[in-house]
Amino acid sequence: MSTIWVLGNGQLGAMMRHAGLPLAMDVRPVSFAPEAPVPDMAPDDLVTAEIEHWPETDATRRLADHPNFVNRPVFGRLADRLPQKQLLDDLAIDTAPWRAVDTTLDCHTLFRELGDRVLLKRRRGGYDGKGQSWLDPREGTIPDDWRGAAIAERGIPFDEELSLVGARDRQGRLYFYPLALNLHVGGPLHASLAGLDRLAPLQQQAETMLGRILGELDYVGVMAMECFRLGERLMVNELAPRVHNSGHWTQAGASISQFELHLRAVAGLPMATPAVKGPTVMINLLGTDRNDAWLSIPQAELYWYGKTVRPGRKVGHINFCSGGRASLESPLSALRDLLPDRYGRVIDWVRDNLKGEAA
Ligand code: ATP
Ligand code: MG
């Protein structure tokens, strides 16, 4: 079997490598460090990416120029928010109204066109809410360093945030997980909850949207679509042409994880719609020191990324899957006692959203 090279060697690449092991797939994440060795690639090897933008180094150039770089043209279109928003508009898929922030645009035009809450988003390189800034109506000016490098979006008063992770194979067939409910605090994802009965009525709407995007891009592999829910209506926030943090729950809650599904699609192996085991919780560990006591919680499945802990940095996650709401209560209580106090609101959010689900 040919080697699958991954642009990037962060936690997503590591989890792809891990997912390939039971199938004896040779998955090799490649570092962006300037001194990283240039891989020795065979003509029938495959290339994928764990992130949508990468620096130019000898190693990344070798991967990106390989003829079997799957979805290569897609990265240019989706890594920049401007063509990404244009794509959504072209497909008439609902997204927050937006404007390119060019050199002549003035603040008043933006507020007049987009409403009284306007969010500036850098076109490239933003993540975890970084590279975003609410436009201050009192200032009355757009900072120069955002011009030509950002879009402006209407602030959306959404009810909640959801995401759909789906995959398309080489034959154009589609595979979806159930929608995940996501808690973002100040940008970064803190927790996801999947397999909720109350989200089922939105599933078809979400699948139709992502299915059209995947088809239009002739995409192969896993893509994530982040959405806002406004009543019964979904609006796309952004697209990620890769495995995604809001799909980490699939490691515990689905018969095929998003990482394996992506690898299967990229390698042209048989696909299947993943069977879901039950309501599943994913808690992100952000800027939190490792605590081995987490491992004493029976249902906890810990992924620790081995990174230096810095405030707010994603350093791991814990998944819990169960046959129903009731069996999640005890592990959630145990985890609450073992996490810093600031996680209280995250655990409360999970509990609140499990209310109403079958016990
Ligand atoms: P991440 O990497 O965590 O997905 P990001 O940096 O790529 O985030 P976005 O997903 O665009 O950026 O924004 C981060 C969060 O900011 C969203 O999850 C949402 O909570 C909030 N947000 C983004 N756009 C809007 C908007 N137009 N109106 C209101 N809130 C928004
Ligand atoms: Mg996002």
CATH number where 14 lies: 3.40.50.20
Q: Which ligand is nearest to the CA of 150?
A: 1
Closest residue by CA, ligand 1 atom 9: 129
| Probe residue for ligand 1, chosen from 132, 162, 190, 246 as the CB with the greatest number of ligand atoms within 8 Å | 132
Quickly tell me which residue has 């709401």 as its tokens: 325
168 within some domain:
yes
> Ligand 1: which residues within 6 Å by Cβ?
96, 119, 121, 126-130, 153, 155-156, 161, 184, 187-189, 226, 237-238
Same domain for 194 and 64: no
Answer yes or no: is pLDDT of 253 > 80: yes
Number of domains present in the structure of the chain: 3
pLDDT-derived band at 1 (thresholds 50, 70, 90) equals: confident
pLDDT, tens only, 195-248: 999 999 999 999 999 999 999 999 999 999 999 999 999 999 999 999 999 999
285 within some domain:
yes
Same domain for 347 and 286: yes
272 within some domain:
yes
The CATH number of the domain holding residue 145 is 3.30.1490.20
Q: Which ligand is nearest to the CA of 186?
A: 1
The CATH number of the domain holding residue 350 is 3.30.470.20
| Probe residue for ligand 1, chosen from 134, 162, 184 as the CB with the greatest number of ligand atoms within 8 Å | 184
180 within some domain:
yes
Cα torsion 95, 101, 107, 113 to 10°: value is -30
Same domain for 164 and 132: no
Residue 102 is part of which domain span?
97-154
Q: Ligand 2: distance of its center to the CA of 183 in Å? A: 11
86 within some domain:
no
* pTM (2 d.p.): 0.97
Same domain for 278 and 184: yes
Beta bridge partners of 192: 182, 282
Looking at every residue in the chain, the average pLDDT score rounds to 96
Same domain for 186 and 39: no
pLDDT-derived band at 141 (thresholds 50, 70, 90) equals: confident
Same domain for 134 and 199: no
Domain boundary among 121, 154, 187: 154
Domain boundary among 154, 170, 185: 154
Same domain for 178 and 111: no
Which pLDDT value is given to residue 271? 98
Same domain for 138 and 204: no
75 within some domain:
no
Which pLDDT value is given to residue 100? 96
First to last CA, the chain: 44
